[in-house]
């Protein structure tokens, strides 16, 4: 990798570097979402409400099954960034090798799980009878391509850890074009419905996977990958698990709570499901814009922690909090105000659009709170504390949400009473994360200052 793709996160103007790092991340995340958005739009417009509901109803379940390995990729990002800041090049090599082996093995496991667990899990979610067969077909085909998706996720995490957020954007741009073209061909021309959009998604993941691996293999820098001489390190795997396993477990439990909410949405019928699916997809773009600052904060904090630079860690947190709030307010409220137009891309059914607006008015408009919550998690996790933010997030954003669904929602069986659980849980969790950061900061900064002196 050429030096120009790397970024010095330890020195230089902070706001400028944060924006330079975060902007390609935003675009990369948006392109990844376009994979699913293309699926949802094409099936919604050309295959009908049942196909639209089928694709949308699998989102929380897919997250449940993949979040563990996505969490491990966070461990890869933190470790490589920390070793990069400390200039520990041997550890970088060991971490990269272990990450690639883990990604491929995890992808194979997910193929098997997706094949055999899709139907029983969808049935547990009370997926309607007119939707479940299409949902199962979509999931089984999608999970056949999981090795490609996992390899890309881990490869992109390695590039991001040294400041390279541009090339993952280029790779996803190419893959996104492939996905959209194949969607149109498979669904409109060959009438393949949900099977067509799933196959198009697999093809796009394959393209992005090949490109990121090629980039690492041909790199002439410290993140070069020698695919023929991969060596698995138990120590580095243990370090990845220490950071990534709590993050992955947190994602799994989040998905379980989202599955419960999806089941509650399912109780309103397939039309509400379709509106909810379209609104969720729009909200995903808002979340991605904010999540770029979580990832930025994670990498910047990790590198500065490795370089023993505590004062800059504080500045990184403040900058990311301000920027994520601005982005969340603009994108979230913009999504609601333009809701009729945006939802119209997914469905021409006025009832579906109305139900989608119900969700956007509550969740999208308050999404900036979620962004602030995630930025606090990024700092704490970047400092090496993985279990603390997991416990707080599980209690605040998951357990509270589940309790809400089982109590308040049962008393007031409306969409509003269901959706309002999101901003309430975000606000509670963000407040506790702030307190945790202040405790962690005192402990870690004292150690760093002792080492510096």
Give 174-208 pLDDT, tens digit per residue: 998 898 899 899 988 998 888 998 999 899 999 99
% of the chain beyond a pLDDT of 90: 45
Determine contact, residues 102/237, Cβ cutoff 8 Å.
yes
pLDDT at 2: 44
User: How sure is the predictor about 155, in pLDDT bands with cuts at 50, 70 and 90?
Assistant: very high
Go through the chain and tell me how many residues it has.
Answer: 453
If one compares 248 and 407, the residue with the highest pLDDT of the two is 407
Exposed/middle/buried for 441, CB within 10 Å: 0-12, 13-18, 19+?
Answer: middle
pLDDT in tens, 357-402: 999 999 998 999 999 999 999 999 988 888 888 899 888 877 888 8
Residue 453 has pLDDT above 60, yes or no: no
pLDDT in tens, 397-443: 778 888 888 898 888 888 888 889 889 999 999 999 999 999 988 88
Q: What is the mean pLDDT of the chain?
A: 87
Mean pLDDT of 19-27: 91
Residue 79 has pLDDT above 70, yes or no: yes
Mean pLDDT of 330-344: 92
Task: Tell me which residue range forms the domain holding 315.
Answer: 3-452
If one compares 85 and 1, the residue with the highest pLDDT of the two is 85
| Half-sphere exposure at residue 297, Cβ-oriented, CA atoms within 13 angstroms | 28
C-alpha separations of 21 from 18, 297, 369, 413 in Å: 5, 10, 22, 43
Total domains present in the chain: 1
Determine contact, residues 357/417, Cβ cutoff 8 Å.
no
List CB contacts of 130: < 8 A, sequence separation 6 or more: 50, 270
Phi and psi (nearest 5°) for 67? -65, -30
Mean pLDDT of 326-331: 95
Residue 1 has pLDDT above 50, yes or no: no
Phi and psi (nearest 5°) for 13? -65, 125
pLDDT at 136: 93
pLDDT at 437: 92
Structure tokens at 232: 């698995």
């Amino acid at each position: 990798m050429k030096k120009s793709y790397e970024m010095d996160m330890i020195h230089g103007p902070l706001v400028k570097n944060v924006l330079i790092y975060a902007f390609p991340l935003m675009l990369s995340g948006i392109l990844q979402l376009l994979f699913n958005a293309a699926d949802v739009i094409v099936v919604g417009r050309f295959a009908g409400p049942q196909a639209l509901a089928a694709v949308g109803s699998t989102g929380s379940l897919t997250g449940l099954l993949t979040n563990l390995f996505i969490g491990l990729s966070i461990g890869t990002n933190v470790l490589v960034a920390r070793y990069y800041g400390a200039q520990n090049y041997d550890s970088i090599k060991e971490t990269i090798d272990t990450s690639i082996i883990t990604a491929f093995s995890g992808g194979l496991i997910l193929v098997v799980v997706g094949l055999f667990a899709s139907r029983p899990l969808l049935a547990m979610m009370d997926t309607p009878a007119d939707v479940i067969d299409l949902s199962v077909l979509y999931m089984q085909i999608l999970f056949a391509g999981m090795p490609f998706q996992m390899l890309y996720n881990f490869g992109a995490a390695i590039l991001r850890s040294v400041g390279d957020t541009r090339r993952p954007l280029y790779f996803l741009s190419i893959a996104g074009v492939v996905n959209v073209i194949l969607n149109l061909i498979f669904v409109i021309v060959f009438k393949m419905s949900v099977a067509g959009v799933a196959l198009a998604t697999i093809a796009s993941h394959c393209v992005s996977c090949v490109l990121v691996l090629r980039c690492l293999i041909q790199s002439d820098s410290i993140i070069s990958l020698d695919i023929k001489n991969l060596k698995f390190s138990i120590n580095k795997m243990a370090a990845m698990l220490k950071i990534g396993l709590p993050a992955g477990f947190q994602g799994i439990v989040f998905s379980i709570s989202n599955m419960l909410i999806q089941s509650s949405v399912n109780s309103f019928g397939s039309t509400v499901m379709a509106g909810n699916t379209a609104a969720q997809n729009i909200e995903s773009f808002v979340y991605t814009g904010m999540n770029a600052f979580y990832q930025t904060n994670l990498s910047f904090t990790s590198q500065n922690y490795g370089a023993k630079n505590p004062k800059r860690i504080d500045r990184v947190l403040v900058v990311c909090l301000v920027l994520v709030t601005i982005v969340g307010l603009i994108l979230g409220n913009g999504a609601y105000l333009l809701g009729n137009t945006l939802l119209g891309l997914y469905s021409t059914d006025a009832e579906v659009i109305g139900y989608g607006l119900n969700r956007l008015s509550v969740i999208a408009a308050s999404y900036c709170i979620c962004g602030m919550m995630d930025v606090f998690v990024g700092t704490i996790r970047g400092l090496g504390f993985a279990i603390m933010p997991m416990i707080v997030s599980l209690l605040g954003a998951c357990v509270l949400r589940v309790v809400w669904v089982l109590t308040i929602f049962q008393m007031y069986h409306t969409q509003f009473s269901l959706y309002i659980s999101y901003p309430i849980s975000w606000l509670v969790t963000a407040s506790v994360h702030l307190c945790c950061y202040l405790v962690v900061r005192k402990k870690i900064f004292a150690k760093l200052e002792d080492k510096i002196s």
